[in-house]
Amino acid sequence: DTGVSQDPRHKITKRGQNVTFRCDPISEHNRLYWYRQTLGQGPEFLTYFQNEAQLEKSRLLSDRFSAERPKGSFSTLEIQRTEQGDSAMYLCASSLALALPGEQFFGPGTRLTVL
Amino acid sequence: RKEVEQDPGPFNVPEGATVAFNCTYSNSASQSFFWYRQDCRKEPKLLMSVYSSGNEDGRFTAQLNRASQYISLLIRDSKLSDSATYLCVVSENTDKLIFGTGTRLQVFP
């Protein structure tokens, strides 16, 4: 158990609805990342935060996606006007800024199904 | 062309076998290299970092060839518990990880 938790674990929604996912990182970790993984593919980077600052966003992240980390602890990822192509596993990871490069701890993910 | 390319497999090997996975990356500016392991329906977990001089962790040996932009992972004396997907991962100057599609390994008795 890595200590990163995500909620909900599963979400089924209809096309056009908005959804919001939550990630609680390991408590002392100041970096938090969001990735998306589809079947047969590796995780794909979406965005990351150091404390409350969003430092990088993927070019692939459309305007319908927004992420926040208001107090530098938990983070939320919102998808507006969901599309069937948004169906995927959304993974959150956390790390310490001074940790070994690449040592990110992943949560169990939120599986989104858009009907 | 994908930034990180791997043979998706599956590699089906008997217990005790030695198996090797390869990976190539396209960005010569990549700075850091890793292998992650992902069990079915679970989250990825860091298996090991990969250093230019090569490094070993028990039955696992990782190699990096910067000139060829090639990374390998060798597993000796395969165990049933090694069955998983092995993800090749690179990173540039940021903390962003770039994952390959993964290579699936199935070890059978």
The whole-number pLDDT of residue B2 equals 83
The whole-number pLDDT of residue A2 equals 56
The whole-number pLDDT of residue A68 equals 96
What is the phi/psi pair of residue B40, to 5°? Answer: -55, 125
CA distance A35 to B76: 31
Rounded to a whole number, what is the distance in angstroms from the first to the last CA of chain B?
37
The whole-number pLDDT of residue B64 equals 96
Inter-chain CB proximity B95 and A95 less than 8 Å: yes
Between B2 and A2, the more confident residue is B2
Question: Which whole-number Å values give the CA distances from A8 to A5, A49, A87, A90, B71, in the listed order?
Answer: 9, 21, 14, 10, 36
Indicate whether B92 pLDDT > 90.
Answer: no
Indicate whether B51 pLDDT > 90.
Answer: no
The whole-number pLDDT of residue B52 equals 86
**Selected residue of A30, A34, A38, A106 to mutate for chain B interface (largest B Cβ count, 10 A):** A106
Inter-chain CB proximity A43 and B99 less than 8 Å: yes
Amino acid at B21: F
Distance of residue B79 Cα from the nearest chain A Cα, in angstroms: 22
The whole-number pLDDT of residue A69 equals 96
Nearest chain B residue to A111 by CA distance is: B41
